[in-house]
Amino acid sequence: MIAEIVLGLLCLCFAIYLFFCGIAYFRFAFGGKKTHPAKSVQPPASVIICARNEAAHIKNNLSLVLEQDYPTFEVIVVDDCSWDSTLNVLKEVQKENERLKILEIKEDNVYKHGKKLALTIAIKSAQYEHLVFIDADCYPASKNWLTQIMENFDENVEIVLGYGAYSNKKGLINKMIRMDTFRIGLQYLSLAVGGMPYMGVGRNLAYRKSFFLKQKGFAPYSQIPSGDDDLFVNKAGTKFNTRIAANRDCITLSEPKKDLKEWMRQKRRHVSTAQYYRSSSKFILGLITFSQYFFWVAAIALLFFPRFRYIALGIIGGYIIIQSIIQWKAMKRLGETKLFVLSLLLEWLLLFFFYPLIAISNLLFKQAAWKT
């Protein structure tokens, strides 16, 4: 009786996976780069960057944003209470490039603010309707990044979701960070393609200024320390107004954290906002997450029942084959193919070690701010 129940659970989890493959993952992985009608006029854009103590990253990355091959755009950098040389570096860059606009926020001893205030100030000061966001520690993968993002806008599109990758470095932690980023990217980009957008990442995101103001900006969740990107998309994104920009030319790259402790701190901040998602998003994400865990638990448990061992092996084999095909195609699209060989091992490490560790940490410790 127990074996039959475990087999039923395994089949149910596999069916859930196949369902999401059909409506989302396959559509993204095999969709490739969509071509949109050529536009006689490319609308001007405002690229927005928030920086706190980012002098080194500004020196390395800002020029790659300013040198985008796009006719009309401005770059707004908000120096958010930096105590390093960020402002001085920005002023030096501004002397050489008139596209750059600098905003400065001074530290207040009484009122403490998060990233949302810096973003709101930049958005309100933007002179153009189309807003494109990237972080100070990121850089575009090519000079066509801005063009690739902007070509996705039309009269119906309000939000464009991009993919933010991390640089390939040596070591297991780097591979886990990149695999985690890929898994999340595959999920939110695929679900957006399937008509269920639920998040975006602030290091590669775009939306209209008028749409932001119509949604009352970040006011509905201003009390939440993080979530300037995913909560905005979760609240305002629909299958009708959201499009993805996902190919190698329009990704952004960041320097990953170097050790487990730093990555955990960053990850805790990121995952803490999921509790504020709309109910439909939480249901879908919960269904996907728990089906993944129960699939492997049921599959391994069923191997101990000789009567169903070969059935379990067949389902496991089918799962791995389908997943491998999807991941290979998606990795090619997003420039992450170097992860493919270790992808199954990295998935297990994330599912059964790192994610539970993050969940326990968020229960025991206070959430960290975006920059301290």
Q: What is the pTM of this model?
A: 0.93
What pLDDT is recorded for position 372? 45
How far is residue 245's CA from residue 234's CA, in Å, rounded to a whole number?
Answer: 17
Strands (E), 246-323: 252-254
For the chain, give every domain's residue range.
2-28+280-364, 34-266
pLDDT confidence tier of residue 139, bands split at 50, 70 and 90:
very high
Sign of CA dihedral 15, 17, 19, 21: negative
33 pLDDT exceeds 70?
Answer: no
Residues 6+ apart with CB under 8 A from 175: 339, 342, 346
Residues 6+ apart with CB under 8 A from 196: 24, 239, 280, 281, 284
Per-residue pLDDT, averaged over 103-114, amounts to: 76
Return the exposure string of 274-290: e unless at least 16 CB atoms fall within 10 Å of the residue's CB, then b: bebbeeebeebbeebee
DSSP code at position 51? E
CATH superfamily of 34-266: Spore Coat Polysaccharide Biosynthesis Protein SpsA; Chain A (3.90.550.10)
Over residues 161-189, the pLDDT tens digits come to 999 999 999 999 999 999 999 999 999 99
How far is residue 102's CA from residue 76's CA, in Å, rounded to a whole number?
Answer: 6
Poorest-pLDDT segment among 41-50, 137-146, 197-206, 261-270: 261-270
What pLDDT is recorded for position 319? 97
Structural tokens at position 358: 């993050």
45 pLDDT exceeds 50?
Answer: yes
How far is residue 209's CA from residue 202's CA, in Å, rounded to a whole number?
Answer: 15
Helix/strand/coil for 105 = strand
Pick from 222, 233, 234, 201: nearest CA to 135: 201
pLDDT confidence tier of residue 1, bands split at 50, 70 and 90:
confident
Over residues 214-244, the pLDDT tens digits come to 999 998 888 887 788 999 999 999 999 999 9
Over residues 196-216, the pLDDT tens digits come to 999 999 999 999 999 999 999
